Each structure stands twice: as structure tokens, then as C-alpha cells.
């Protein structure tokens, strides 16, 4: 069974505008990026928490995601 976070991450990863927007937010304010991910989930009726997002991102073996997570951890 696919988790809500996994579904949401997949949708965001396949939407270049959302992905770019989140990257820019993360550069300036990582906490806001996590909040925005949760907001996108709410808009798409895929509810997730910040904690679920962070836990899921830690499981991904993708260099871009790892770099974002390092940046996000610095601001968390």
C-alpha cells in the first residue's frame, strides 16, 4: 500500500512548477517548504504531516532529495 506522503511526493516530483517552487522556498526558508508540501497535500486531498514528509524523505535514495533534506534540516 502506498502512503499519502509517497503519493504526494510522486505528484510533486512530476510537476516541474511545483518542484521548482518548493526548491526556491527551501533555499530561503526550509520550514516553509515543509508547510507548503503539506498545503499542496491538503489542496489535493492527500493529507500529510511535516513529520511524515521528513520521515519519507529520509528513505529516498535520490541525490537531489538528499541535498534538499540537508538544507531543510539546517532550518528545522
Of the candidates 37, 32, 40, the one whose C-alpha atom is nearest the C-alpha of residue 55 is 37
pTM of the shown model: 0.78
Q: What residue segments make up the domains of the chain, in order of their start?
A: 4-75
Note the pLDDT of residue 75: 52
pLDDT, tens digit, 9 for 90 and up, residues 5-49: 999 989 998 999 998 898 888 888 878 888 999 999 999 999 999
pLDDT(76) > 60:
no
Note the pLDDT of residue 73: 60
Per the document, the length of the chain is 76
Amino acid at each position: 500500500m502506498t502512503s499519502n506522503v509517497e503519493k504526494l511526493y510522486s505528484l510533486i516530483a512530476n510537476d516541474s512548477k511545483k518542484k521548482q517552487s518548493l526548491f526556491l522556498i527551501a533555499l530561503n526558508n526550509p520550514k516553509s517548504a515543509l508547510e507548503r508540501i503539506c498545503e499542496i497535500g491538503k489542496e489535493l486531498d492527500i493529507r500529510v504531516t511535516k513529520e511524515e514528509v521528513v520521515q519519507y524523505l529520509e528513505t529516498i535514495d535520490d541525490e537531489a532529495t538528499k541535498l534538499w533534506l540537508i538544507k531543510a534540516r539546517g532550518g528545522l
